[in-house]
Chains A and B, each alone.
Chain A
């Protein structure tokens, strides 16, 4: 577990450092993810401790979003002020952004496989 945390926190810190040094639009954790991915690809394997612990850690990803959800309490008046319009915007836009890229990727993958097969 300690080794896993050293990897993860270390890469997050590296991400933060690079992100701030070069004023990148990417937050440290996202950059850390891309860096760790590059490292694993170069290393051509996942360290044993991460192989064991990361799936267990990620199976509880939902837990980590619960505190942020409680912020609704602090902003309920603002949110209520926009009422139904806001609900329509969030529902429609979330649905469209799931749907259109999903359909596009399905189409592109089908064409891609077809070309590879031909």
Chain B
């Protein structure tokens, strides 16, 4: 028997990465249901924790895991395109609220940049970290390319995006309940602006309308941020 070789195949095969990701997600969804959808049992949060536990327990490196992980991640592109369908389903609401939505997303883009850089500056984080924080609120591919363009660290920006997306997805519902913000359009738009795709996935569980507006806000805030950040970044130099 050649157990070592077999185990090594298991650890480095792309299929293992795909399988473990699907399994982590499945378990996270079951856990979320068992917790009756409690915000802290968010499937992205639990799924990532389960996956990290597996990687640490088996000594698999992130790079080896991603040979398979990337196959799952690749579906993010078509999924983003698919957000057009629920958005179209909300066309009449979108038309009626176009003005307020445009103002809110423009304003939200600015808040996203200034709040992250402002707090970071007050806490005296180094300049390169501040530059990497400018794109905290937008979807990963925009964050990485914009951050690179202004002299930030793209990988660090991606981490900020993912961590704050998970945090935003966890707190948005309790926070908005607390403040009596119950309109699905408001919930979705704010979530898309602050917590991009991970937040969008979260509010899709709550309502399709919220998910549709989250997708729209995520995309448009990406545009706003990609335009504003290169203009504002010289202020940090």
Contacts and interface: CB of A to CB of B under 8 A. Distances in A.
B21 interface: yes
A89 B119 contact: yes
A88 B163 CA distance: 12
A28 B100 contact: no
Contact of A97 (B112, B125, B181): B112
Contacts of B28: 62
A26 B222 contact: yes
Interface residues of A, number: 73
Interface string A30-42: 1011111100110
**Dominant SS among interface residues on chain A:** helix
Contact of A8 (B55, B66, B81, B164): B81
Contacts of B233: none
A101 B104 contact: yes
B35 interface: no
A62 B78 contact: no
A8 B195 CA distance: 23
A2 interface: no
Contacts of B140: 68
Contact of A88 (B63, B123, B129): B123
Interface of B: 17, 21-22, 24-25, 28-29, 42-44, 47-48, 51-52, 55-56, 61-63, 65-66, 69-70, 72-73, 75-89, 91, 96-97, 99-101, 103-105, 107-108, 111-112, 115-116, 119-120, 123-125, 129, 133, 136-137, 139-142, 145-146, 155-156, 158-160, 162-168, 171-172, 175-176, 179, 181, 183, 185-187, 189-191, 193-195, 197-198, 200-202, 204-205, 208, 211, 215, 218-219, 222-223, 226-227
Interface of A: 5, 7-9, 11-12, 15, 25-30, 32-37, 40-41, 46, 50-51, 54-55, 57-75, 78-79, 82, 85-86, 88-106, 108-109, 112, 116
